[in-house]
């Protein structure tokens, strides 16, 4: 295989990612048409698959930005194929974020791609690589909320609207949480190049626990309420009510669906 052919293979979209897109499309169609006997199952599969798609795009953004910043090793590692199975930490990248969604309705991508920072010169490039992931969640959130703030919901089935509202909530929470300057999260990666060597050495031992620390903190009632009040305010400014996000999450958790949303719809 020539070097050119190898580079093309390194950047070819993975069949795994295509399969996830197919699941998203099929379950989105089932949610829209009401094809499934249990709409909650369709919503669960649709939101989960779409969430995994956003995780793949999040990590792809990190890798692609690193490639253009000087780390050409990301191609040979498979990071440019959008295949979640190629990530350095599949548990942190896919399993834990999905569990966070199921347990708490929180969108929180984990660390995944390994960037060889020594290949990259310039603090701004390092910051941009870290920011690229959560900025992808911002774009995803804009797409999910567009029908609401464009007032283009005429003809959109109720279940699909609820599912889209919940998916938007996940993207907004992912963007905000990932921009927190906590070791192990992208927000810290943005500011890390600008910190002194001494501070970075002091913080380094805490990096593996940053993600779990944030998730544990969100289980504190006062913190949880303040955080979701902020999220609700942001979504309300984009035309999504807390009732819509609640019903979306209620449908997503089909195993414990209440009667409130069926009455509301």
Say which residue the tokens 């050409």 belong to. Answer: 72
- Beta-carbon contacts of 140 under 8 Å, excluding residues fewer than 6 positions away, are 54, 57, 171
In this predicted structure, what is the pLDDT of residue 97?
A: 76
In this predicted structure, what is the pLDDT of residue 133?
A: 93
Catalytic, 59? Answer yes
Q: Which is the catalytic residue, given 37, 59, 116, 204?
A: 59
Each residue's pLDDT tens digit in the chain (265 positions)? 444 544 666 778 999 999 999 999 999 999 999 887 788 899 999 999 999 899 899 999 999 999 999 999 998 888 999 988 887 666 666 777 777 787 767 877 665 678 888 899 999 999 999 999 999 999 999 999 999 999 999 989 999 999 999 999 999 999 999 999 999 899 999 999 999 999 999 998 888 788 778 888 988 999 999 999 999 999 999 999 999 999 999 999 888 766 667 645 5
In this predicted structure, what is the pLDDT of residue 6?
A: 46
């Amino acid at each position: 295989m020539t070097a050119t052919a190898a580079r093309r293979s390194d950047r070819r979209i993975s069949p795994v990612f295509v399969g996830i897109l197919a699941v998203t499309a099929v379950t989105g169609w089932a949610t829209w048409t009401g094809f499934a006997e249990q709409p909650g199952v369709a919503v669960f599969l649709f939101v989960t698959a779409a969430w995994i798609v956003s995780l793949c795009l999040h990590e792809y953004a990190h890798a692609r930005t690193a490639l253009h910043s000087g780390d050409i090793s990301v191609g040979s590692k498979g990071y440019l194929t959008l295949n979640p199975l190629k990530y350095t930490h599949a548990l942190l990248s896919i399993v834990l974020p999905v569990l966070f969604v199921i347990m708490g309705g929180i969108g929180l991508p984990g660390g995944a791609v390994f960037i060889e920072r020594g290949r990259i010169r310039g603090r701004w490039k390092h910051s941009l690589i870290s920011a690229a992931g959560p900025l992808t969640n911002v774009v995803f959130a804009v797409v999910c909320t567009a029908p609401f703030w464009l007032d283009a919901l005429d003809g959109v089935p109720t279940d699909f609207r609820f599912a889209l509202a919940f998916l938007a909530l996940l993207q907004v929470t992912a963007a905000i949480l990932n921009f927190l300057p906590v070791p192990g999260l992208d927000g810290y990666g943005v500011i890390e190049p600008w910190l002194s060597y001494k501070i970075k050495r002091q913080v380094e031992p805490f990096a593996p626990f940053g993600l779990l620390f944030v998730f544990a903190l969100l289980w504190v009632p006062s913190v949880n309420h303040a955080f979701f009040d902020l999220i609700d305010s942001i979504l309300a400014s984009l035309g999504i009510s807390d009732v819509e996000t609640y019903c979306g999450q209620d449908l997503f958790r089909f195993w414990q669906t209440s009667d409130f949303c069926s009455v509301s719809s």
